[in-house]
Amino acid sequence: MVTVNRSLHADILVIGFGKGGKTVAAKMGRLGKRVVLVEQSDRMYGGTCPNVGCVPTKGLVHRSHKRRPDDPAQDWYQESVREVQAIREMMRRGNFDALNSIETVTVLTGRSTFTDPHSVSVMTADEQLTVTADTILINTGSEPAIPDIPGLAGSKRVLTSTDLIETTILPARLAILGGGYLGIEFASIYRAFGSQVTMFVRAARLLGRDDDDIAAVAESILAGDGIEIVTGAQVTQVRDGDSGATVVYDKDGQQHSVEVDAILAAAGRVPATRDLGLDAAGVRTTEAGAIEVDEYLRTSQPHIYALGDVKGEAAFTTYLSLDDSRIVLDQLTGEGRRTTTDRVVVPRTLFMTPPLATVGMTEREARQAGHRVKIASQPVAEIVAMPRAYAVEETRGVMKFVIDAETDEILGAALLSVDAQEIINTVALAMRHGIKAAELRDAVYTHPSSTEAFNDVLATIVRVDES
């Protein structure tokens, strides 16, 4: 029996269990504030990252490369998924307990819908209740987008990234629709597990934001691993059959088709704002459904904040969501000066194998901005000061720095190498604090490590722009 119209009042209501929201909830709860956090699914305590994003996917990256040639692909994959799910369940419980154990914090599992700017109706499994709050945080994240392709949405073979990591059946033939970070990461994972992977990319090449030389090395690594990359492809139809699905696509004016067992729709993610009742709250959104915020993360209602992907930023930005929490906490408990404009030189990583980590400007962007640049670049296999690459048997890739020719300022870097996801943070920190390329080049690093590659790479200026 459902109990109706119980009411709760909170100092702070957090909708969604993402990184930013849970961080604010925990901090304010420990300060004695009455906090209610509502998460619509008991499988999403902790948010996207530990449940369907960073943690399970990177766990699969790791396990896929531990498989030996004689290990049965299906058995290895099934056991890997079970291991990753066990880790995810542990983190899910930990996230729930960490908040629910705070005396002034109440965690509710149910769907939230605004009824006015200060009130939300919450439908749980047992009751419908109204939660009112002085301050409200929206941290509902994003959800996979399904492209508008005839036959795709209704296909029994189509999966989102969330669906794919839930299944214990390894698809023998996997089609990936999309060539962004999500598509590339999953292509790398499932090829390593043993799937035959075909990527369909509408653009002329992968990684359109990156410089041509970096993108070419990345694409050659993926192709060398056996991933078929079909660029300039327009998927026009999906047809289900008895033994699989047929993907029909146009390329170079001709129609082609391929039969697969599963289709991953990796065309990006959209803000999860459907059915939140934002109109009733007076919260403005963009045409794409993202919540509009100012530099303090305030929505059109000053007491309502939005954190994380729901603002329409790049997906899976857990570390930006954490920084969002710092901005909001400064509003709630500090001087209220911290803003998104303070957030500069933010690195990002594509977890292919080896990973590609970038920060700052590309060479193309630096030249377009009017900089005279010098370029330091070396293939990983030629970096003498990086024996770690040989020690772990991963010498593929390249490191590239874009440097201002007049000031020696590091304008940007692209590191396609083992450990790139770690060492890019050193570069970003150097850029934030104005450390010059020569200083990074001449620093003393531990040995053997990947960071010491900077000693070699930054000593090799391969081109100077004299224009």
Known binding residues are 58, 140-142, 178-185, 268, 309
- Is 171 in contact with 192 (CB distance < 8 Å)? no
Whole-number Å distance between alpha carbons of 402 and 427:
12
Report H helices in 151-261.
Answer: 161-166, 181-193, 212-224
Residues belonging to the binding site for NAD(+) are 178-185, 268
Q: Among 65, 256, 303, 447, which one carries the catalytic annotation?
A: 447
Grouping H, G, I as helix, E, B as strand and the rest as coil, residue 104 is coil
Place of tokens 């088709």: 257
Whole-number Å distance between alpha carbons of 419 and 354:
8
Q: How many residues does the chain have?
A: 467
Report H helices in 106-204.
Answer: 161-166, 181-193
Task: Identify whether 448 is preceded by a cis peptide bond (ω within 30 of 0).
Answer: yes
Report H helices in 371-436.
Answer: 387-391, 420-432
Catalytic-residue membership of 118: no
> For residue 266, which amino acid is it?
A
Grouping H, G, I as helix, E, B as strand and the rest as coil, residue 103 is coil
Whole-number Å distance between alpha carbons of 455 and 438:
9
**Residues annotated as part of the active site:** 447
